[in-house]
Structure 1
C-alpha cells in the first residue's frame, strides 16, 4: 500500500528533513534567547514561498468487455495537491497527495470489490502519498533525489508512471541526473519499491491488484545525447530485480533514436532495439528482443505516422519480452488488451492521423495485432482521441477504443469523458 509504505525510511526522510528544517528556524541559543541566522531566515522564505498546486481530474469510463456479462461504468474524481518548497542551500522538498473518490455508483470491478460480473476498471478509491522526495543540487549540473518520486524515461516504453490511471505509479528510489557533458543527460536510479496503480489497498487474491507494491532492487540507467543534429540518441540498461514478482524480473539493454528533419514539412522517424533476458530469481531462462520502427510526416495541418512495435517470444522457454514498469496504455491500443505480453509475443503494425479541427486536436489510430511466433491473428483495434484546452486551467478529453478479437482476448469497447482542472 502506498500509504503504508510511507512509514519506510525511504519515505520518512523527506518529512524528517522538512520538520528538522522547520525546527531550525526557532533554535534556541546558549543564553536562552531565540537565534535566527541568515540561513534560517532564507529557509523560512523557501517554505513560505513554496509552490502549492491543485489538480482535479474527473473521468467517466464505460467498458463493454465480452468476457464479463455486465458493462462497467466508473465515475471517479482524482484530487491532487502538490507542495514544493523553494530552493534552500541547494535543497528542495516536495509532498504530493492524491485522493480518488467515486462520484455516484461504483458499478465496476476495481479488482478490490466483489463486482466480478462487471468489466474491470482499475481505478479503486483511496487516499495516498503519491510523491514525497528530497532533492539536492549542490554539485554542478547534478540533481540527486531521494524518496517517492515520478520516473518517466524516454517515451515510457520501459519505465513510466502510468499517468493515465487515476492512481499513478511512482517509485521509492534514489536517483541522480547529471548534465555536465555537452548535449548529454545521464540518469541513474535505484528503485527499492514500485507503488503500482492498483492501490492504496491490496486487491483480491489472484488478480494483478493482489500485491499493490513490489519490493525491488532495480538499477535503472539511461543516457540521452542530443548532439547528433538528427535527433535524440538514447542508450539504456534496466536491471529489474522485482522481489514480489520474480517472473517479471529481467535485464534489458537497448538503444533508441528519435528525431525530425525539415522546416515547414517535417519527416519524423524513430528506431529502437533492445534485448532482454531473465534476471535474478526469475524461474524462466529466456532471451527475447524488442524493436520499434516508426516514420511519419508532419505538416502545419496534419501529422501521419506508420509504425511497427514488436515484442519477440522465446519459443523454447515459452516466455516473451516484457515491460512490467512501462506506461502500457500508451502502446498497443487504448483497450489495454496486451498489458501482459502473450507467450507467443506480439507484432503491432499501426498507423495514425492527427490534426486540429477548429482548435480541437483529433487523433485516429489503427492497430493490427499478430503473434510474433506462429501464425495467430490476435485482432485489430481502432482508437479515437479528441482533446481541447477549453480554458487555461481546463482541459477536455474524449477517447474511444474498439478492439475486435480474433485469436486473442474478447471483443472490447471502451469510452472515456475526462475533464481536468489545474491551478
Structure 2
C-alpha cells in the first residue's frame, strides 16, 4: 500500500520527552559574593516534548519546552493584576529536505531549515549548551553533506525583530522571556547574521575538522542628550563582522590513550566595532588506567588584553570569545569564566586534571581539579600589576542511571579564590568571600513515549 507515492511502512514517527528539575545551593556561583551574603537556594525545571516524523525524502522535528523556577508564578493568577512569567518556548522546529534519492551513492545530502541546535566536535566553540535549562538554538539554514567519512556543513542565519516595511536594522535584544536575557554566551546581544562552513574527516585513528564562521552585529552609535546627560544606544545600518577560523582533532595513538585539541583565531571586529585579534588553544590527553579509571590532564589558553593599557575605541581587542560553545563543560562547573556573567578581558589559562571512575555499570564518579590564571597582565589600579593567579577549583560529581530513562546527578564544587579574582579587573567585588561553594541535585527523566517496553 502506498501513501503519496511511497511505502507507508517507511514513514517513522517519534515522540519523546524530558523532565529535568535541578535544585541548586549557591554561595558564590559564577561570581564572588560579599562575605555577609546569604546562600541562595532554588529549584529550576525544564520540561520538554519532542515530536519527529521521517517520510519520503524529508524529516520534521519540533521540541517545545517550558523553563521556570519553582514558585516564580502565582498558583492562582488574576489576569487583571498579575503578569505570568511565561517560560514556554519553541526550542526546535525544523524541516529537513533530503536532496539525494535512494539510489544515490552519496550517504547524505540535505537541507535543514528552521530553529535547530547546532553542535560540532567537543562543543568548545559551537554547542547546544545543554547544561543551561533553556539551552541554545539558532534560526538557520544548513546544507549538510556526508559521504565515506567526509562531512561538510554550510550554514547561514539572518535575524530580525519583526516584519519590516523598510531597512534591516536589528537591535539584537529581543524581549526578555522568563528572566533570560539575549544570548547565552555573555554577549548580551544576538548576532544579526551568521555564516559558517564546517569540514570534517574521519580516519581509523580519529577525526579532524575545520571551521570558518562569521557572526555579524548591527552597527550602533552612542548619543548623549538631556540634563543630566543620558547616553542612548542608537542602532544604524551596517554590520561589524567577527571571523573565527581554526581546527579540532581527536586521535587515538593507542587503544587506551586519546589526544584531543583545537586551535582557533578570531579577527575582524567585535560587537562594539573594535578591531579584533585573538586566539584559543587547547590540549587534553585522556588515559585509561585499568578497567574503570580515566585520567585527563590538559590546558586551555584563551588570549586576553593587557590590563595595564587603556582600552579605547581604536585599540585592538585581544580577548577571545568562545562563540556559542559550552563553557560549563570545560572551565569549571561553577561557571566563573566565559559563562552568563563576565569576568574581565585578560584572557584565561586553565590547567586541569579530570578523572572519571566507573564504580558500577550504572554509577560513575567524577573529580576535576582546575587551576585558573589570567592569560595577561592584571593592573592593581595604582600603576602597578598584581598576581595573575585567580584561583583553584575542585568539582565533584556523581551520575547514577536509576533506569535507562531515569538519571540522578549530584555535584559539589569549591573554589579557593585569590584577591586578584575579586579585583576590579576581574570580578570587581569588595570584601569578597574568597571560598565560594556550590552544590546541586538533578533528576533527568527522558521517556520514549512509543517504546512498548
In the alignment, is the contact (CA less than 8 A) between 1:257 and 1:270 conserved in 2?
Answer: yes
CA-to-aligned-CA distance 1:147-168 (integer Å, 9 cap, x gap): 0001111111111111101111
1:137-216 aligned at under 5 Å gives the runs 137-139=98-100, 140=106, 141-180=108-147, 182-193=148-159, 201=177, 203=179, 214-216=190-192
In the alignment, is the contact (CA less than 8 A) between 2:196 and 2:213 conserved in 1?
Answer: yes
Partner of 1:413: 437
Q: Alignment partner for residue 196 of structure 2, among 212, 216, 220?
A: 220
**Segment of structure 1 superposing worse, 241-250 or 130-139:** 241-250
In the superposition, relative to structure 1, how do residues 394 and 125 fare at CA in structure 2: closer, same or farther (>3 Å)? farther
Partner of 1:15: none
In the superposition, relative to structure 1, how do residues 74 and 422 fare at CA in structure 2: closer, same or farther (>3 Å)? same
CA shift at 1:296, angstroms? 2.4
In the superposition, relative to structure 1, how do residues 242 and 167 fare at CA in structure 2: closer, same or farther (>3 Å)? same
CA-to-aligned-CA distance 1:338-363 (integer Å, 9 cap, x gap): 12463211100101111112341111
**TM-score between the two structures when normalised by the length of structure 1:** 0.77
In the superposition, relative to structure 1, how do residues 105 and 282 fare at CA in structure 2: closer, same or farther (>3 Å)? closer
1:41-56 aligned at under 5 Å gives the runs 49-56=12-19
Superposition RMSD on alpha carbons, in Å?
3.3
Distance in 2, matches of 1:136 and 1:204, equals: 33
Partner of 1:111: none
Q: Alignment partner for residue 91 of structure 1, among 58, 62, 77?
A: 58
Partner of 2:269: 279
Distance in 1, matches of 2:182 and 2:125, equals: 25
Please tell me whether residue 76 in structure 1 is matched to residue 51 in structure 2: no
Please tell me whether residue 310 in structure 1 is matched to residue 313 in structure 2: no
Distance in 2, matches of 1:212 and 1:399, equals: 28
Q: Alignment partner of 2:199: what SS?
A: strand
In the alignment, is the contact (CA less than 8 A) between 1:126 and 1:200 conserved in 2?
Answer: no
1:2-401 aligned at under 5 Å gives the runs 38-40=2-4, 49-65=12-28, 66-67=32-33, 69-88=37-56, 90-104=57-71, 126-139=87-100, 140=106, 141-180=108-147, 182-193=148-159, 201=177, 203=179, 214-227=190-203, 229-243=204-218, 250-263=242-255, 266-279=256-269, 282-299=272-289, 300-315=291-306, 317-339=316-338, 340=342, 342-359=344-361, 360-374=363-377, 375-401=387-413
In the alignment, is the contact (CA less than 8 A) between 2:211 and 2:246 conserved in 1?
Answer: yes
**TM-score between the two structures when normalised by the length of structure 2:** 0.72
Q: Alignment partner of 1:286: what SS?
A: strand
In the superposition, relative to structure 1, how do residues 337 and 190 fare at CA in structure 2: closer, same or farther (>3 Å)? same
Which structure 1 residue ranges, 5 or more long, are not aligned?
1-36, 107-123
Which structure is richer in relative contact order (CA contacts within 8 A, separation 6 or more)?
Answer: 2
Distance in 1, matches of 2:407 and 2:304, equals: 40
Distance in 2, matches of 1:321 and 1:242, equals: 16
CA shift at 1:128, angstroms? 0.7
In the alignment, is the contact (CA less than 8 A) between 1:248 and 1:324 conserved in 2?
Answer: no
In the superposition, relative to structure 1, how do residues 251 and 194 fare at CA in structure 2: closer, same or farther (>3 Å)? farther
| Structure with greater proportional helix content | 1
Which structure 2 residue ranges, 5 or more long, are not aligned?
74-84, 101-105, 162-171, 221-234, 307-314, 378-386, 422-426, 448-453
**Segment of structure 1 superposing worse, 366-375 or 170-179:** 366-375
Q: Alignment partner of 1:260: what SS?
A: strand
In the alignment, is the contact (CA less than 8 A) between 2:158 and 2:193 conserved in 1?
Answer: yes
In the alignment, is the contact (CA less than 8 A) between 2:185 and 2:324 conserved in 1?
Answer: no
In the alignment, is the contact (CA less than 8 A) between 2:2 and 2:8 conserved in 1?
Answer: no
In the superposition, relative to structure 1, how do residues 351 and 208 fare at CA in structure 2: closer, same or farther (>3 Å)? closer
CA shift at 1:383, angstroms? 0.7
How many residue pairs match? The answer is 364
In the superposition, relative to structure 1, how do residues 59 and 401 fare at CA in structure 2: closer, same or farther (>3 Å)? same
